[in-house]
Chains A and B, each alone.
Chain A
Amino acid sequence: EAGVTQFPSHSVIEKGQTVTLRCDPISGHDNLYWYRRVMGKEIKFLLHFVKESKQDESGMPNNRFLAERTGGTYSTLKVQPAELEDSGVYFCASSQQGLWEQYFGPGTRLTVT
């Protein structure tokens, strides 16, 4: 069974540019989550999808962040325009409906210069 995959693994962009991160969850997992870790800090929840619906986006930092999950499969997280403080590692996780265990992807390291 393939795990959660994320693309790209690294991204370096300039302040003001746009970046789109992609997450492919484990097949059949209805729940998809985005988390972010800023250097030296804890991994923080950003948002939660159930299929294509956003269930909880309380952790999204501001309206420069837009997450989508069209068709309830893969998800994208767009940052537009990127700011220096957006640098960090963005993790995606997925879980089966009704189950607590979340399976994490390897993360995308975003560096905004």
Chain B
Amino acid sequence: AQSVSQHNHHVILSEAASLELGCNYSYGGTVNLFWYVQYPGQHLQLLLKYFSGDPLVKGIKGFEAEFIKSKFSFNLRKPSVQWSDTAEYFCALYSGTYKYIFGTGTRLKVLA
């Protein structure tokens, strides 16, 4: 069965700290992986995506993620977070059947 696990449910960081949010998936076929973000009061927005090619993917707002096939992981990183990065982050898998499989989300709070 397809699944996505996000191990960090709540993360609190100070501004300028580095961020890494974990995401592991379970799926035996070709995967398409995404990170979505939901800022307070706003829609879910796509941060970045991986379909194929370079396993290091760069997204908007300075975020990047690395696809490591051997570890079934797609961790999200940012070298230096800002207060405005406070949001909930969702890792998702798309297996080609039109539906996304989401993780449980990680709430990030950045202290100014």
Contacts and interface: CB of A to CB of B under 8 A. Distances in A.
B30 interface: no
Interface of B: 4, 32, 36, 41-46, 49, 90, 94, 97-105
Interface of A: 3-4, 31, 33, 35, 40-45, 48, 55-56, 59, 91, 100-106
B102 A43 contact: yes
A59 B99 contact: yes
A56 B102 contact: no
Given A3-B43, A100-B32, A42 B98 contact: no
A56 B98 CA distance: 9
Given A42-B104, A100-B32, A56 B97 contact: yes
A63 B69 CA distance: 39
A56 B43 contact: no
Q: Which 9 A-B pairs have the closest CB atoms?
A: A104-B44, A45-B99, A43-B102, A42-B104, A42-B102, A106-B43, A48-B98, A104-B43, A100-B94
Contacts of B101: 42, 45
Given A56-B97, A100-B32, A100-B94, A44 B102 contact: yes
B104 A45 contact: no
A59 B101 CA distance: 11
Contacts of A43: 90, 100, 102, 105
Contacts of B105: 42-43
Contacts of B45: 104
